[in-house]
Structure 1
């Protein structure tokens, strides 16, 4: 028991130190609610640039405390219905956005075109608004996510939303008619519960939501996700 208490105390201390290393007003999402699924795709090659994105050196999700509390409330409500949240991205450093801009300007790099932007020419990504020099994610209260459930084998499965996360195309619009009835219903389910808890959707991306009362409305951060 003595060793267990010592280990527990050490874990709490290290968690506190990690939280203290973040700017004031930010937290690791798992410290607020560890039941929320997280898969930071930019800390992998499973994304549109086909490489780990600058500024991502960890799989731990960072977000503003206010947004984390709201997500925790959503998770608790979803769990009562047999569902949950899965986060693909939250706080995003400016250096990551800069990486996207450099990548978009390199027209030779089209490794994941058929997966993420098959309908769009790469030289049109800026023009069509898929890539920009600033992102609301860098303010800390924007999140990319979907809904999940546990199947009969107790494995986490994503609800069918009609497109993958970060798909560059018209089908990603929240109210797109290019997806079927079930997929539209799933998007509405996600949108409704997010807006109920204080988030506003981005109409062009079914997965993208920003806390309405975000604490850093005009401040863009550049610290690493670590």
Structure 2
């Protein structure tokens, strides 16, 4: 349902010069990035990256931000989180393509206690709206990949079919990728929206996990 005229939207934005605070691990056949908070925690967040993958500095920055707020973070399987990280309360956050995957987790996995889909491409089908867990959807008003009419359809169908808590929030003037692919000091106009969206993301997770 996304705008097919721009098939690879995630090139938008600025790539951060950032190394990361966590470590790379091999989980069976999966490579992943894991970062833990300074204080022991039984909470964890699965971060699902965009098309650029888990090695993108911006994605690592967002993972480190979550860990700094008390969450173990790893973009890998739930079993690793529960068995090796000791996680008892798990949430999911995804960006762009990862937002689609996060939406899917919110529909299928009740082990996930809360989800945040950040400019996740909208796939319209009848089985996409009966969320099992509280889910926050973040969009940019000027996102050429996800037009506002698609967001309106999402809101209307969630209102009709969804019994779990949810929120759809649109940030005025913002484009695809604004939350994690722009530096905070890149543009004074963008910075308040970037910080507000990140705060909303954390507040949603803290509320339900």
Higher-helix-fraction structure: 1
Q: Do these two structures clear the TM 0.5 threshold for a shared fold by scoring above it?
A: no
TM-score (norm 1): 0.28
TM-score (norm 2): 0.30
Query: Which of 1 and 2 has greater Rg?
Result: 1
Higher-strand-fraction structure: 2
